[in-house]
Amino acid sequence: MERKPGEQINLIGTGLTIAVIVGLLFFIDIESLKGYVLRAGIWAPLVFVLLKISTLVIAPLSGSPLYPLVGLLFGFWPGILYVALGDFLGYTICFFISRIFGKKIVLKLVSDREESILNRIVEYISDTKGFIQACLAGFALPEILSYGAGLSRLPYFKFISILWPLTLTISTLLVFLGSILGAKAESVLIGLILPVVGVFAMLVGGTFFMRGLKEKSADKDLS
How much is the pLDDT for 186? 46
More confident residue, 25 or 96: 96
Mean pLDDT computed over 113-136: 80
Domain ranges of the chain: 5-222
CA distance 79 to 68: 9
pLDDT in tens, 172-183: 887 887 777 654
How much is the pLDDT for 12? 54
How much is the pLDDT for 146? 94
Mean pLDDT computed over 22-45: 72
Q: What does the H/E/C string look like for the chain?
A: CCCCHHHHHHHHHHHHHHHHHHHHHHCCCHHHHHHHHHHHCCHHHHHHHHHHHHHHHCCCCCCCCHHHHHHHHHCHHHHHHHHHHHHHHHHHHHHHHHHHHCHHHHCCCCCHHHHHHHHHHHHHCCCHHHHHHHHHHHCCCHHHHHHHHHHCCCCHHHHHHHHHHHHHHHHHHHHHHHHHCCCCHHHHHHHHHHHHHHHHHHHHHHHHHHHHHHHHHHHHHHC
CB 141 within 8 A of CB 204: no
**Burial tier of 211 (Cβ tally within 10 Å: 0-12, 13-18, 19+):** exposed
> Does pLDDT of 7 surpass 70?
no
- Rg, the chain, Cα only: 18
Instruction: Give the phi and the psi of residue 153 in degrees, each rounded to 5.
Output: -95, 10
Q: What is the largest CA-CA distance in the chain?
A: 65
Q: What is the mean pLDDT of the chain?
A: 75
Report for 69-78, 88-97, 193-202: range of highest mean pLDDT: 88-97
CB 94 within 8 A of CB 150: yes
* DSSP secondary structure code for residue 22 in this structure: H
CA distance 88 to 20: 24
How much is the pLDDT for 200? 57
> Does pLDDT of 213 surpass 90?
no
Q: Determine which of 99-103, 130-134, 156-160 has the lowest per-residue pLDDT on average.
A: 130-134
pLDDT in tens, 154-211: 999 999 999 999 888 888 887 887 777 654 544 444 445 555 555 555 555 555 555 6
How much is the pLDDT for 33? 67
CA distance 32 to 30: 5
CA distance 58 to 6: 8
More confident residue, 151 or 213: 151
